[in-house]
Structure 1
Amino acid sequence: MGDVHLTEQGSGTPLVLLHAYPVDSRMWDGVRGPLAERVRLITPDQRGLGRSPLGQAPPDLDVVAEDLLRDLDRLGVQRFVLGGCSMGGYVAMAVLRRAAERVTGLVLADTKAVADTEQARAGRLAVAERAESEGTAGWLADSFLPNGVGTTTAEQRPEVVSALRELIESQPPSGVAWAQRAMAARPDSTELLAAVDVPVLAVVGAEDALMSPEVVGGLVPGATFAVLPGCGHLPPLEDPAAFARTVLDWLPG
């Protein structure tokens, strides 16, 4: 496959941010400005999503981790702060399994360490099959949005809901299916995160219907924990100013 598409701006400490499902790195657009004033911000599109080609690899988040590490090598980035929202958090855990010595800090937003239950796995595989057989127009956004944003966003930020719908609708069905199968196959990362010995920021939207504050707050013993009011599952989209401020206040160095 060709190179993964990524966006890079700013200078200083490299901060890699990995996007959620079912969107791409444009979910970080609202936080780029403030973050890039302090860091070298790197935001890739996961293979098959956004502007990254899917390639032929079987669905596996370890493949996504390898994509990222290869691109960071190409950019000359040896050590970096790593962040991920939801699926991006799962990818961050895959990176830790392969190259923990390169990660100097960790931001985990609205994500969890445990593997899927059998019911959750079956649900992901059903979505993958539907995406491949029907495409994703209409139904994918309709099914994600009620739980994908918080009540405050749904009621008071129609522009966010509209932008998120547009992001979801723009994703290739093949990439959506690949991502769902890769997430369904991911291992439990509880012990992995318990052994992390770099600074960690765990962030969750107070209105997240998919990941409870207790789940996110308990990811890493000793982590800095932040709950963002008025946000659901995607704080960088719902309240970018609050998310960027939280990251910058925590950022090591």
Structure 2
Amino acid sequence: MRVEDIDIAYDDEGDGIPVVLVHGHPFNRSMWRPQVERLRSRYRVIAPDLRGFGETPVRSGSLPWTAFADDLIGLLDRLGLERVVLCGLSMGGQVVMEVHRAHPSRVRALVLADTFPEGETVAGRELRHGMAARVLREGMGGYADEVLDKMLSPRNVVALPAVAEHVLGMMRGTSPVGAAVAWRARAERPDYVDSLSRATVPVLVVVGEEDEYTPVAVAERMHAAIPGSALAVIPGAGHLPNLERPDAFSDAVERFLAGV
């Protein structure tokens, strides 16, 4: 669907309360396939490719961080959706936090999975800019190989070969330009602790028990900062519990949505 200057690719299945699933970096909307198939019998499930990922192009070498949230709002406008449940994982969780900060009236509830609300540190900015330069220089292959056993629990890389292949394929298939643009934009994101602490909508925090990028302690801290929020820790999963333990992840989301 045309939104502003780009065509946003997305899946839109089912009927009922709209639930928008926002993927992480450097992935695409196919990471949500187990949740789309599970939730579409009771909800309208929308899973877009963010700008520069999957089948959604990126038109320039730089973007403001707010562009990703603006794209989601533009998509909701084109679909005629006023208020939605927003579910985001990792970078997708931070995009969801930006929508909540800038457009709170559009948010019916939040699911924040394997993500963190704090703004970037100086070291973090340098790291993200360095990774952007690296993939533009070398491509995505080396990076993808290096981080696979951090994206997934190392045991699941072995135990779930089809999942590992899917995750590796998403990372290798991501445009280096899209990945770089997102890393640079993400390095400039604001801190969301204050806006989340004032949230008046239902919030579910989800985390894989073995997540190295956003450990359980980070999720517990975010849960404590958000009044009335719920916390679900997914056993036997790393940074991508929706793929590593899709039934447990979807169970937690469905229980939450039942009360929305």
- The aligned residue for residue 170 of structure 2 is 167
Whether contact under 8 Å (2:212, 2:239) holds in the other structure is yes
Indicate the RMSD between aligned Cα atoms, in angstroms.
Answer: 1.2
Q: Note if 1:111 corresponds to 2:112.
A: no
Partner of 2:157: 154
**Do 2:61 and 2:177's aligned partners in 1 also have CA atoms closer than 8 Å?**
no
Instruction: Judge conservation of contact 2:61–2:181 (CA < 8 Å) in 1.
Output: no
Moved more, 156-165 or 39-48: 156-165
Aligned in 2, Cα 1:139/1:5: closer, same or farther, shift over 3 Å? same
What's 2:16 paired with?
12
**1:80-128 CA distances to partner (integer Å, 9 max, x unpaired)?**
0111000001100110122101101000000001012211211110110
Q: Distance in 2 between matches of 1:212 and 1:49?
A: 25
1:89 is matched with 93
Call closer, same or farther: CA 1:90–1:144 in 2, change over 3 Å.
Answer: same
Q: 1:102 to 1:66 in 2, by over 3 A?
A: same
Which residue of 2 is the match for residue 123 of structure 1? 127
Q: Which amino acid aligns with 1:209?
A: E
Structure 2 equivalent of residue 240 of structure 1: 246
SS of equivalent residue, structure 1 residue 218? helix
Determine if contact 1:59/1:178 at 8 Å carries over to the other structure. Answer: yes
Shift of 1:209: 0.6
Deviations 1:162-186 (A, max 9, x none): 1110111111110010111111111
Residue in 2 aligned with 1:228?
234
Take 1:80 and 1:72, find their aligned partners in 2: how far apart are those partners? 9
Q: What's the CA shift for 1:237? A: 1.4
Task: Give 2:136's aligned residue.
Answer: 132
Q: CA-to-partner distance for each residue in 1:153-206, whole Å, 9 max, x for gaps?
A: 123112211111011111111001011111111111110110101110000000
Deviation at 1:57, TM superposition (A): 7.5
Identity of aligned residues (%): 39
Deviations 1:204-250 (A, max 9, x none): 00000111112112222321100000100011111111111110011
Equivalent-residue separation in structure 1 for 2:131 and 2:41 (angstroms): 39
Q: Quick one: distance in 2 between partners of 1:55 and 1:213?
A: 37
Instruction: State the 1:134 CA deviation.
Output: 2.0
TM-score by length of 1: 0.96
The answer for unaligned runs of 5 or more in structure 1 is none
Letter of the structure 1 residue corresponding to residue 78 of structure 2 = R
Whether contact under 8 Å (1:48, 1:176) holds in the other structure is yes
Please tell me the residue identity of whatever aligns with 1:4.
I
Report which stretch shifted further, 219-228 or 145-154: 145-154
The one-letter code sitting in structure 2 at the alignment partner of 1:14 is: P
How many correspondences in the alignment?
252
Moved more, 146-155 or 232-241: 146-155
Alignment of 1:196-207 (within 5 A): 196-207=199-210
Large movers: runs of 4+ above 6 Å? none
Q: Distance in 2 between matches of 1:121 and 1:182?
A: 10
Amino acid at match of 2:218: V
* Post-superposition offset of 1:129: 0.7
